[in-house]
Amino acid sequence: MRVTGTTSRIRRMADDDQDLHFLNLKNRRRYGITAWFYDILDYPWELQYRTWRLGLLEDVQGHVLEAGVGTGRNLRYYRPGVDLTAIDLSPAMLRKAAKRCAADAVCKVRFVQEDATRMTAIPSASYDWVIAFFLCCVLPRELQDQAIGQIARVLKPGGRFRLLEMRYSDDPRLRKRQDFFAPFVAKVYGAGFDRHTLSHVQKSSELTVTETRFLKHDTYLLIEGARS
């Protein structure tokens, strides 16, 4: 794909290690290792995810923040006119995303190493959209409200958000399968199926949920809405 106006330099966040919540610091260190084989490990699931990405991003436009960009799997699906800020806690994951950006992205991209629960380098009320796929399921339970609060803060009034998360299934058979994978998911990704993202969004006084739907079974939950 043709690259137009891509910024490949990664801006580092101002926070020192001692200022990070210890669980986020643990995740950042974890992904320093996981980044090396993340795309290989994720490949079986990516066969499904890539069938969703275009439909989830084709209407996204304007100034966009992607929180938890990871290795940049979404980059090729944004429209050319999008002005994208892509943040991630892990510098190792951002380097992977920047490399992929050079080959895949058609929109303008700025990479920022940033904690999604703080976003100290991100100005308030600046974005038309916030996109986050599988961000909250990686964040510790204790930091869910902070991340949702930051999403509300950086959105313009009327700005929209789209979150894709995993949750525990109500189907005993699927739940048993998730329980089998849960220790691996926690160790490698720092993720869990028990983050209850929707309830945290619904608690926000600044965000309004406009639609929720499952993309597969009752485990992949899409949450959409807007800043009030």
Domain boundaries, the chain: 10-227
The CATH number of 10-227 is: 3.40.50.150
pLDDT reported for residue 106: 87
pTM over 0.85: yes
- Of 66, 27, 80, 70, the residue nearest 45 (C-alpha): 70
16: Cβ–Cβ under 8 A, 6 or more apart, which residues?
none
Q: What is the pLDDT along the chain (228 residues), one digit of tens a residue?
A: 334 444 445 665 445 555 667 888 899 999 999 999 999 999 999 999 999 999 999 999 999 999 999 999 999 999 999 999 999 999 999 999 999 998 888 899 999 999 999 999 999 999 999 999 999 999 989 999 999 999 999 999 999 999 999 999 999 999 999 999 999 999 999 999 999 999 999 999 999 999 999 999 999 999 999 999
